[in-house]
Amino acid sequence: MQIPIYQVDAFTNKVFTGNPAAICPLDKWLPDATMQAIAAENNLSETAFFVQKNDNFELRWFTPVAEIDLCGHATLASAFVIFNFIDPSSNDGLVKTSRGHFKV
């Protein structure tokens, strides 16, 4: 299995500073246990996974030990990946999460 991974430092424009998060774009959701194992392997405070659904993105976050309901810096890091690598022509995007919808 090959999954792209981006390590993004949120809240900064300098390398090795800010708040790091791993970001994994997916074509479809993987089993929860697989995403949890990937987050444990990344060993960052959060790993975010997202799946594009039409013009929106569904987003989930995992720490190395559990899925969590919300993570601000990993959401912003995911938006950075979406706007710079996945869909650069997009001006904004709607992110659907277990905690509601967020416009980024």
Task: Write the single-letter amino acid at 5.
Answer: I
Q: Are 69 and 98 in contact (CB under 8 A)?
A: yes
Catalytic: 46? yes
Q: What percent of the chain is modeled with pLDDT above 90? A: 72
* Among 33, 14, 21, CA closest to 71: 21
**Residue 103 vs residue 22, higher pLDDT:** 22
User: E strands of 1-104, at which residues?
Assistant: 6-10, 19-26, 47-53, 56-62, 67-68, 94-97, 100-103
CB atoms within 10 A of CB 13: 7
Q: What is the pLDDT of residue 91?
A: 65
Q: Phi and psi at residue 41, in whole multiples of 5°?
A: -65, -40
